[in-house]
């Protein structure tokens, strides 16, 4: 399952999810499109919010992408 699918399944907009995660809406869009991966602390918030185990979280952002690993998000957290 993708982050976008989880977000929509839970009735959240990108803006609402961004607020819950403490990042910008652009960051959520980048996570969903695979342009960037969340910082570890944001990944943990995603895991907590959607009750994901480590394997599910890993497959969402890392599995099968070894050949084209997107950069980690280095933008400052959105208040």
Residue-level pLDDT at 11: 98
Residue-level pLDDT at 63: 75
Which tokens belong to 31? 């996570």
Kindly report the number of other CB atoms within 10 A of residue 61's CB atom: 19
**For the segment 22-77, what is each residue's pLDDT rounded down to a tens digit?**
999 999 999 999 999 999 999 999 999 999 998 999 899 887 654 444 455 555 55
Domain boundaries along the sequence of the chain = 3-64
Mean pLDDT calculated for residue range 15-21: 98
Q: Is 73 helix (H, G, I), strand (E, B) or coil?
A: coil
Domain 3-64: give its CATH architecture: Orthogonal Bundle (1.10)
Residue-level pLDDT at 62: 83
Residue-level pLDDT at 78: 55
């Amino acid at each position: 399952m993708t982050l976008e699918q989880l977000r929509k399944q839970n009735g959240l907009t990108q803006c609402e999810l961004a607020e819950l995660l403490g990042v910008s809406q652009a960051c959520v869009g980048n996570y969903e499109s695979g342009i960037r991966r969340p910082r570890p602390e944001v990944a943990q918030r995603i895991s907590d919010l959607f009750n994901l185990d480590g394997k599910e979280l890993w497959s969402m952002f890392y599995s099968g992408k070894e050949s084209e690993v997107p950069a980690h998000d280095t933008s400052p957290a959105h208040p």
